[in-house]
Amino acid sequence: MATGQKILLGGVSALLLVAVIIGVVAGVMRSTNHIGDDFEMPSTNKNNINTVSKSIDSLCHITDYKDTCVDTLSTVNDDNGSPDPKSIVTAAIKATSVEFEIAFKKSKTMGDGTHDNMNKEALTDCHELLEYAIGELQDALASSERGDAEHIRRRSDDLKNWLSAVMAYQVICLDGLTHPELKTNMTKGLDKATELTKNALAITTEITNLLDSMKDALHLKDGLIGMGGAGAAAAGGGLLTAGFLKGGRKLLNSGVNDGGRYPQWFSAAERKLLRSTHSNKVKPNIVVAKDGSGNFSSIQKAIDSVPLKSTERFVIHVKRGVYKENVIIGKKTLNVFMYGDGSKKTIITGNKNFIDGTPTFRTATLAAMGNGFICKSIGFQNTAGAEKHQAVALRVQSDLSAFFNCRMDAYQDTLYAQTHRQFYRNCVISGTIDFIFGMSSSVFQNCLIIIRKPMDNQRNIITASGRSYKYEDTGIIIHNCRIVPDRSLQHFRKEVKSYLGRPWKEYSRTIYMESQIGDLIQPEGWLEWDGDYALKTLDYAEYANTGPGANTSERVQWKGYHIIKSKAEALKFTVGNFLEGDSWISYTGIPFIKGLKN
């Protein structure tokens, strides 16, 4: 970042910090009547209002769409002329939600003149994806309206998670459309929604970063948090109640039980069950078996029997066998724990693919959308083959989802880590082109990544991150994994070029840490997508990897690529920090490394 930019952002932050303090103090004092009889509320004056107005304008300068931002935040001042962080964030999310409702209605009238089946399906996908976006925004809005500034700060990871998913749904919708007129119309219909989503992400990030910096600057005294220096002067010498700006972040759907933090959908009994890594110790609600010895012989029928929107953990045991079916775990099917008898014994297989007319979004052998999905000891396959191009074995949209001892096998686009927070441990993933891809926040730990032999004249690429905006807290993290050639590629591994990743979207983020990289990876390591597209804005990095393919002396010289040299920077991308793993993975029964291995 240029020096001038740093000075500008510093000024923006300082000005906004003063205004935020004004708003928070005013809001807290108005709702508190037991501070003390000798406390006098600082009067709202013209200078304060001018400061607030300037702060809103300054905040909007960090967004991509400044005029839209100013228009969105023009009504956030309360009766005393003081905006607070809750009002600012809520206004940004609410405006985005309203615009998506409008875009969704418009989309229903599109495509009447489009007769090709692929685009008809893609348009249906758009409608579904926009419904998902509206749902995510409603969740974010409900959360932002629920609490105060401290609530906003503590829930910032959840808010950004929802907003990042909303960004992803827009991109996936547009990518699926190939009819020129239809794509143009849908793009125009989503233009304003895209602007507002990006602004909401930027605003939420900037506000919560400022609140974090305020937390560090404030101190507890006599049960109150005092302010000193410029902040106290700007706020008229006020004090904040002890409930403001204390405590760490906590996931929105997490609670406290027996002194520990874990998602509410884990009861104490379930937590004990799921801590066991031995699936035969878990008593299932239903059993799926090919031989008729269970409750169902079809996995989909078993999924269809799960109570919708349940807050209780629902356990499904899928006995050994090859299940030839495409399974969908719907958005309202929550908290499913599904386990098999081993990833080579319990196998779900399908062959839907792009070449035969199915959009990539719909090719998955299993699609997990309901939040809280946990899976152990199951294999997922798409057997369409390399010649059928995009053919997904597993698509995951489920937030706070985890996979342990699972296997995903296909060629192009094997694992679609689509959206939200995901964790993969001790899994095997094989493929050829972009075979780990998506727009989620995903960590792969202790996994075996197998590169297969592609078609003639093709190159192998392991990852393709779809992070499309700089404020998204998303990316693909490969930690303590092994990258090796498949037996079919072993003899040709030096002839077929293989790469660690390429940028699917402009702000693509992929980090390899403490992993063993085989000699099949090209010395330059990474591959461009299309000329110089995204090479300045992507975020690719490597840290403490080993093996013949880990030599970084001949790596690409892109502006967006770097070698991580400090442990502190690497820790940002670990399970504990990137996924807040202590808040939920701890109670899935899945082992994990919270930080770095060494």
Directed axis angle between helix 85-107 and helix 66-73, to 10°?
110
Query: What is the CB-side half-sphere exposure of residue 268 using CA atoms within 13 A?
Result: 5
Contacts of 579 (CB under 8 A, 6+ apart): 421, 423, 441, 443, 585
pLDDT tens readout for residues 265-294: 455 555 555 555 444 567 999 999 999 999
pLDDT tens readout for residues 487-515: 999 999 999 999 999 999 999 999 999 99
pLDDT tens readout for residues 338-349: 999 999 999 999
What is the spatial distance between Cα 300 and Cα 325, in angstroms, rounded to a whole number?
8
Sign of the dihedral defined by the CA atoms of residues 274, 275, 280, 282, in that order: negative
CA angle 323, 325, 328 (to 5 degrees): 120
Q: Which amino acid is at 496?
A: V
Contact criterion met (CB below 8 Å) for 541 and 511? yes
Tokens of 365: 């052998």
Buried b or exposed e, range 151-184, using 16+ CB within 10 angstroms: bbbbbbbbbbbbbbbbbbbbbbbbbbbebeebbe
pLDDT tens readout for residues 93-150: 999 999 999 999 999 888 766 668 888 899 999 999 999 999 999 999 999 998 788 8
pLDDT tens readout for residues 434-449: 999 999 999 999 999 9
**Exposed, middle or buried, 258 (CB in 10 Å: 0-12/13-18/19+)?**
exposed
Widest pairwise Cα distance in the chain: 83
Catalytic residue set: 434
What is the spatial distance between Cα 554 and Cα 469, in angstroms, rounded to a whole number?
28
Sign of the dihedral defined by the CA atoms of residues 516, 519, 523, 529, in that order: negative
Tokens of 552: 């970084």
Q: Which residues pair with 136 in a beta bridge?
A: none
What is the spatial distance between Cα 505 and Cα 582, in angstroms, rounded to a whole number?
30
pLDDT tens readout for residues 295-320: 999 999 999 999 999 888 999 999 99
- Whether the predicted pLDDT of 24 surpasses 80: no
Tokens of 271: 């937590």
Most confident of 222-226, 234-238, 539-543: 539-543
What is the spatial distance between Cα 427 and Cα 433, in angstroms, rounded to a whole number?
18
pLDDT confidence of residue 572: 97
pLDDT confidence of residue 147: 78
What is the spatial distance between Cα 540 and Cα 549, in angstroms, rounded to a whole number?
16
- Whether the predicted pLDDT of 51 surpasses 80: no
Helices marked H in 235-359 — which ranges?
268-275, 299-304
The mean of the pLDDT values for the chain is 84
Contact criterion met (CB below 8 Å) for 80 and 26? yes
pLDDT confidence of residue 217: 54
Beta strands in 176-233 (DSSP E): 219-221, 224-226
Place of tokens 């809103």: 56
pLDDT confidence of residue 234: 33
Please give the domain boundaries of the chain with CATH numbers for all domains: 50-214 (1.20.140.40), 269-587 (2.160.20.10)
Cα 522 to Cα 62, 513, 517, 551, 552, distances in angstroms: 38, 17, 11, 10, 10
Other Cβ atoms closer than 10 A to 367: 21
When comparing pLDDT for 15 and 506, which is higher?
Answer: 506
Least Cα distance to 400 among 83, 158, 93 occurs for 158
Phi-psi region of 7 (alpha: psi -120 to 50; beta: other; left: phi over 0): alpha
Backbone angles phi, psi at 179, to 5 degrees: -70, 120
Backbone angles phi, psi at 556, to 5 degrees: -55, 155
Confidence (pTM): 0.86
Backbone angles phi, psi at 280, to 5 degrees: -70, -5
pLDDT tens readout for residues 206-234: 988 888 877 655 433 333 333 333 333 33
What strand order describes the sheet that includes 498-501? Answer: 327-329, 366-368, 394-396, 415-417, 433-438, 460-465, 498-501
Beta strands in 407-528 (DSSP E): 407-409, 415-417, 421-425, 428-431, 433-438, 441-445, 448-451, 460-465, 475-479, 482-485, 498-501, 509-513, 516-517
Confidence at 184, pLDDT banded by 50, 70, 90 = very high
Least Cα distance to 159 among 208, 192, 99 occurs for 208
Contact criterion met (CB below 8 Å) for 316 and 336? yes
Q: Which amino acid is at 26?
A: A
